[in-house]
Amino acid sequence: MTNLQLNKEGKLKHFLSIEGLSKESLTEILDTAESFSSMSEQRVKKVPLLRGKTIVILFFENSTRTRTTFELAATRLSADVLTMNISTSATSKGESLLDTIRNLEAMHVDMFVVRHAISGAGHFIAQNAAPHISVINAGDGQHAHPTQAMLDMFTIRQYKHDFKELKVAIIGDILHSRVARSQIQALNTLGTKEVRVIAPKTLLPAHVESLGVKAFNSIEEGLAGVDVIIMLRLQKERMTSALLPTEREYFKCFGLTEKRLKLAKSNAIVMHPGPINRGVEIESCIADGPQSVILQQVGNGIAVRMAIMSLTLQSNIEAL
């Protein structure tokens, strides 16, 4: 898995999961994103870095927000964007995933940004794609969502500067969350002092400590003294599957309220990948309050994706 993401010179060629990437690789992404971040304030929010490149947004699972940030990131790098919603395309004519990939490759595209309901779909495509193509995982099953994790790391660094003194709590459905999995790996790789996960037992993986976290079933205990609070979105489907009681009950036990927020450090930041379920996992007044950096995360998402797209494609160009 490790080597697949790097080219012979050890440069990022694909971006599929945080697993297997070094602290230096992650830091290079964060540093590059910083240069793009200031660009958003400029009159002309474009650089010609990827002019003449074709980026295919290959979404087998719909997600307006993630798709939009990738499209904007690609456009601001001056790339040409081809968005394919695969449920409505050739695969319905009975074409296999591999045939779809082969055909797009033959059209001389340069990058696939893949979102798929099956864990490992991005790896599969990267293993099978032509050498000149970069693959970015925009979420695969319950496995990983590494660009989300990186924009979260970028946001934490923006507010807290150094990971090595930080206590970070992730709250919600850890068991099913690809976001949480990628966040935990990134936080540990970047040397975070303490990573906590807070969830009911039914929503924690078995042996969760082996991921390098401290587990809490009480939100009050878990929040005590943390610098960063990361809420996860509650997938309402879980309700029906008997893993969770009602929304109200969930909020009562694990929702982030003003009272609970006071248990964290007074300058703690509150994060959420969005879209928010107001009043389910988080109180509205916190989402809109002074400690919330949720909208900052959205903007950072574009800078971080610009960084990942340009780094992977440039290492590919240099290798040629």
- Which residues are tagged catalytic? 65-66, 93, 115, 145
Nearest distance, CB of residue 108 and a copy of itself, angstroms: 4
R_g of the chain, CA atoms, integer Å: 19
> What letter represents residue 88's amino acid?
T
Within 13 Å, how many C-alpha atoms sit on residue 143's CB side? 18
Taking the C-alpha atoms of residue 113 and residue 139, their distance in angstroms, rounded to an integer, is 9
- Measured from the CB atom, the residue of 109 and 195 that comes closer to a copy of itself is 109
- Three-state DSSP at 64 gives helix
- Measured from the CB atom, the residue of 47 and 263 that comes closer to a copy of itself is 47
Nearest distance, CB of residue 308 and a copy of itself, angstroms: 16
Nearest distance, CB of residue 269 and a copy of itself, angstroms: 15
Q: Give the interface with a copy of itself as residue ranges (CB under 8 A).
A: 40-46, 51-54, 64-65, 68-69, 71-72, 75-76, 80, 82, 84, 88-90, 93-96, 99, 102-108, 274-278, 295-299, 301-302, 317
Helix or strand (DSSP H, E) at 54: strand 54-59
- Three-state DSSP at 114 gives strand
- Measured from the CB atom, the residue of 38 and 266 that comes closer to a copy of itself is 38
Nearest distance, CB of residue 212 and a copy of itself, angstroms: 31
C-beta separation of 74 from 47 below 8 A: no
- Sequence-ordered alpha helix ranges (H) in the chain: 2-5, 23-39, 64-76, 97-106, 121-128, 146-160, 178-189, 219-223, 237-240, 247-254, 258-261, 284-287, 294-319
- Measured from the CB atom, the residue of 64 and 266 that comes closer to a copy of itself is 64
